[in-house]
Amino acid sequence: MIKENQRTLNSINVLLDALILFIAMPVAFYIRFHILHNGIIAVPLSAYMLLLLFLIPSHLVTFATMGLYESLRKRTLSWELTRVFWGCLINYILALTGLFLYKGIHFSRGVLAIFVCLSFLVMCAKRACLRSVLHHFRQQGFNQKHVLLVGDSHMAVRYVQVINRQKEYGYLIDGYLAEHDSIPGLTYLGSVKALEKVLERRRPDEVVVALPAEEFRFTREVIEACEKDGIKLSMIPFYAEYIPSNPQFDNIEGIPLMNIRHIPLDNWMHAAAKRTLDIVGSLALIICTSPIMLIAAIGVRLSSPGPVIFKQERVGRNKKPFMMYKFRSMRVNAAQDTGWSRNTDPRKTRFGAILRKFSIDELPQFFNVLKGDMSLVGPRPEVPHYVQQFKEEIPLYMVKHQVRPGITGWAQVNGLRGDTSIEERIRYDIYYIENWNFFFDLKILFMTLVKGVVNQEKL
């Protein structure tokens, strides 16, 4: 039943994308020649509509190749929209290349550019709405995939907790098999050896194997039983806590090698794209916020004696120290006082409290970004003293220093600012580092803008 539902959903997705492309072309034509009033109509609308005979199949094939017409319940919306973007861009480039080689008809590049932008935006809106509707239905108990769990390891317990908490994934765990009845609140169906009989009786959509290390010997039997019945099988290794959130594999003559810590920004093209965003973004933000920075500088100077800019050593990429800039929000020599910065910090000046409340004190860090010490997005940098302390106390803490620190980050837009759990922040930082892509940065910058930069600190 779930496979039939998925095929129906895939068909709806294909038809809607084709319809969007079909409607986007005349709308783009109208915008280009009737709203913008720029240029003579050298090619009629009918010729552009004929061009869709190539563009619609081309888009649909590209999207299908990118996996956009498969089950996406395990994928994030950003993953989906990123592939829609690249699919639209690839087809735009193909169209321009084809028209350049075929010089028979001079199509307007403006119409094609508007067509691509409209198609992308409407497809993104469609997919976001469709995902929202599916999440709602799944939370109500519809469109669910029935799962059978094999094993009772600690990772199996975590899996059950996540699935029960995130109803929008649309998974329903019918029960589990293990050597002992040890997972409370979940139907115990017997030992692992009873799997074949349970499969015949239950007919689940998927089997998830999460055996503990001491029961790993049952793995082959489980795989053979599932493949015999043609049931999809997924595995959660007992060493899953050491596997990155987005594992990458190398292959040496058929031997798979898993990279424990894959960092996308180690790729020079990814690093160049991020650095370009940092330079362009920081320059634009320096220009836009210069009036605010001027007022802040005057306010700091008048409110208390001392320098306007507070410089403090922080630990950056590859553990390299750098001087981070801030508008001074504390009295002079306050940094010598020991203790973590708190909401009701007695070291703050009155004007400094206002700066920190609205994160205005962070604005000079755009110059750190321009210098290359920091990035617009990344883990927040820490002072050397705390780095040494957390290095010993918090597992994986030093992983954050494999990328440039940022002004904002994945942890910050998820509410982990100021006096919050360091362990939780590190978890979010590592997720960001392992799953970085250009659009992830744009998403975080957008979330920072939407959620605002207001701290929970009291004035």
Please report, for residues 153, 169, 211, the alpha-carbon distance to residue 180 in angstroms, rounded to integers and kept in the order given: 11, 28, 12
Helices (H), 31-108: 45-65, 77-101
Question: What pLDDT score was predicted for residue 457?
Answer: 55
Out of 34-43, 57-66, 316-325, pick the least confident: 34-43
Task: Give the separation between CA 195 and CA 231, rounded to whole angstroms.
Answer: 12
Residue 379 gets which letter from DSSP?
P
Please report, for residues 139, 301, 339, 382, the alpha-carbon distance to residue 345 in angstroms, rounded to integers and kept in the order given: 43, 20, 10, 18
CA angle, 99 as apex, 95 and 105 as ends, to 5°?
130
The closest of 194, 201, 156, 202 to 177, measured between CA atoms, is 194
Contact between 205 and 143 under an 8 Å Cβ cutoff? The reply is no
**pLDDT, average across residues 122-130:** 92
Residue 167 gets which letter from DSSP?
G
Question: What pLDDT score was predicted for residue 338?
Answer: 47
All structural domains of the chain with their residue ranges: 2-139, 145-243, 266-451
Q: Which pair of tokens denotes residue 249?
A: 């594999």
The closest of 99, 125, 123 to 111, measured between CA atoms, is 99
CATH number of 145-243: 3.40.50.720
Question: What pLDDT score was predicted for residue 342?
Answer: 56
Quick one: how far is CA 383 from the chain centroid? 27
Task: Give the separation between CA 358 and CA 296, rounded to whole angstroms.
Answer: 12
Q: Which pair of tokens denotes residue 122?
A: 């409407």
Give the three-class secondary structure for 43: coil
Task: Give the separation between CA 175 and CA 148, rounded to whole angstroms.
Answer: 6
Helices (H), 249-376: 268-303, 350-357, 365-371
Q: Which pair of tokens denotes residue 384?
A: 């050397």
- Residue count of the chain: 459
**pLDDT, average across residues 275-289:** 95
pLDDT for residue 352 is more than 70: yes
Task: Give the separation between CA 399 and CA 390, rounded to whole angstroms.
Answer: 12
Question: What pLDDT score was predicted for residue 77?
Answer: 85
The percentage of the chain sitting over the pLDDT mark of 90, rounded to a whole number, equals 38
| H or E, element range at 176 | strand 171-177
Residue 33 gets which letter from DSSP?
I
Out of 54-63, 109-118, 119-128, 165-174, pick the least confident: 165-174
Task: Give the separation between CA 363 and CA 359, rounded to whole angstroms.
Answer: 8
Question: What pLDDT score was predicted for residue 455?
Answer: 57
Question: What pLDDT score was predicted for residue 341?
Answer: 57
Residue 346: pLDDT band (50, 70, 90) is low
Three-class DSSP labels, 104-128: CCCCCHHHHHHHHHHHHHHHHHHHH
Task: Give the separation between CA 372 and CA 113, rounded to whole angstroms.
Answer: 34
Dump pLDDT digits (tens) for 300-317: 898 888 899 999 999 999
Question: What pLDDT score was predicted for residue 3?
Answer: 55
Contact between 108 and 91 under an 8 Å Cβ cutoff? The reply is no
Contact between 384 and 321 under an 8 Å Cβ cutoff? The reply is yes
pLDDT for residue 141 is more than 80: no
Question: What pLDDT score was predicted for residue 233?
Answer: 92
Give the three-class secondary structure for 330: strand
Q: What average pLDDT does the chain have?
A: 86
